[in-house]
Amino acid sequence: MPEDLKSKAKEICSVRLQRSLYGLKQSGRMWYNRLSEYLLSKDYVNNAICPCVFIKKSSSGFVIIAVYVDDLNMIGTQKEIDDARTHMKEEFEMKDLGKTKFCLGLQIEHFQDGIFVHQSNYTKRVLKRFYMDKATPLSTPMVNRSLDVEKDPFRPCEDNEEVLGPEVPYMSAIGGLMYLANCTRPDIAFATNLLARYSSSPTRRHWNGIKHIFRYLQGSIDLGLFYPKNSKCVLVGFADAGYLSDPHKARSQTGYVFTIGGTAVSWRSQKQTLVATSSNYAETIALHEACRECVWLRSMTHHIQESSGIVIEKEPTKIFEDNSACVTQLKEGYIKSDRTKHIPPRFFSYTQELQKNQEVDIEYIRSSDNAADLFTKALPTTVFKKHVHSIGMRRLQNL
């Protein structure tokens, strides 16, 4: 300490760090600034759309560095990857772990005809943690719900019903399932989203629903997403809504999924915040949300492809919707009638502007072929398995 401060109490002093320390709140930001400054000096390009992706193009190929804090994945042509690895080692202390096989809980299997991403090890750990590793498997993650509000197994806690105490790890189970649903298991997204609503006051009925998902996972541990090698790199979307999916609060469910090469890359199952007065209204809201996601996915993929020197054809992204009235209104313009005059025009105008600018193309599809149906309701086993297969989900043992 400086001489003039030694006589004073240490309680009035503080320490100013000259360098950031690992584990502090600002450390991640400081490390990102340090890394991005170095990569940009080496002629990598970066964009605010996806700030953690750095791309460098050369006459012989390209390299893409995807950054997650201090975990880096390199994708590209072999010479450029070798060059990137060399100059990264010159600047930073780092370990080369070879071909990516495990990253952030995701297991990546490399086959001749494609890449398979799954979370088998994580799923086994979750099942063991909740003592469900020896449970009897089930074919779907959720039972078919009754149309009778009073008989719905997933209705809110009633006045005469006991709320589960902290000895039942409900919140912990929801957290474990959400990581699966967000990363490689879109098949459990709807069931997990529905049961997560009751985290503050779960009952035995809701806990049985959690155990139902665990039993489904027990029978599909090695299920994951398979990205084929020679597939057509085209972004395709599916949107759907489950009208009054939550009849207790008169809310519907938004569901959408986007695929590239026939395999899901982005999906969502979420309760709508507005009360929809008709299925047309609910579908319009769902399509609006899907279009917002589509704009971001298009801008990100176009940035990566252009920066990598990949020739792309800027065609509108097809989004399939199974409500013919909704498709007609969005294609032909907002029709003011007794049934639609209360719907806020913004839900129409945004999607119509995207269609006018040829960014999206809304197409009709039959409900039985709409993959987004998976994210809005509990389905019978046959239909459920059909949609799971249609978004590129496969069993490791079948590859």
Tell me the mean pLDDT in the region 39-44: 94
Give the rounded percent of residues in the chain with a pLDDT score beyond 70. Answer: 99
Q: Which amino acid is at 149?
A: V
Q: What separation in angstroms does the CA of 284 have from each of 41, 141, 323? A: 46, 27, 9
Q: What pLDDT does residue 16 have?
A: 81
Helix (H) or strand (E) holding 235: strand 235-246
Q: Following DSSP, what letter does each residue of 35-62 receive, concatenated?
A: HHHHHHHTT-EEETTEEEEEEEE-SS-E
pLDDT tens figures, 310-368: 877 789 999 999 999 899 888 877 666 777 788 888 888 899 999 999 999 999 999 99
Sign, CA dihedral 60-61-67-71, equals: negative
Q: 184: pLDDT confidence band, cut at 50, 70 and 90?
A: very high
271-325 tens-digit pLDDT:
999 999 899 999 999 999 999 999 999 999 999 999 998 877 789 999 999 999 8
Q: Are 261 and 232 in contact (CB under 8 A)?
A: yes
Q: How much is the pTM?
A: 0.91
Q: Are 378 and 145 in contact (CB under 8 A)?
A: yes
Cα dihedral 127→130→136→142 (10° resolution): -90
Between vectors from CA 156 to CA 279 and to CA 193, what angle results, nearest 5°?
60
Q: What's the order of all strands across the beta sheet hosting 263-271? A: 263-271, 251-260, 235-246, 317-321, 360-364
pLDDT single digits (tens) 76-90: 999 999 999 999 999
Distance of alpha carbon 348 from alpha carbon 153, whole angstroms: 35
User: 105 — phi, psi (to 5°)?
Assistant: 85, -5
Which residues are CB-contacts of 192 (< 8 A; sequence separation ≥ 6)?
A: 174, 177, 178, 180, 181, 213
pLDDT band at 15 (very low <50, low <70, confident <90, very high): confident
Predicted local distance difference test score (pLDDT) of residue 70: 87
The most distant pair of C-alpha atoms in the chain lies apart, rounded to whole Å, by: 82
Helix (H) or strand (E) holding 30: helix 27-41
pLDDT at 71: 92
Nearest-angstrom CA–CA distance, 180 and 105 = 10
Domain boundaries, the chain: 28-98, 118-219, 228-307+315-395
Alpha-carbon span 114 to 33, nearest angstrom: 34
User: 3-class SS at 76?
Assistant: strand
Is residue 233's pLDDT more than 80? yes
pLDDT at residue 147 tops 80: no
Average pLDDT value for the chain: 92
pLDDT of residue 1: 67
* pLDDT tens-digit map of 94-138: 999 999 999 998 999 999 999 999 999 999 999 999 999 999 999
22-41: average pLDDT: 90
> Order of strands across the sheet with 102-103?
102-103, 106-111, 114-118, 223-228, 393-395
Instruction: Please give the CATH number for the structural domain made up of 228-307+315-395.
Output: 3.30.420.10
From the list 221, 223, 166, 151, the residue with the least C-alpha distance to 199 is 166
CB 288 within 8 A of CB 256: no
SS3 392: coil
- Reported as a single tens digit per residue, the pLDDT across 237-250 is 999 999 988 888 88
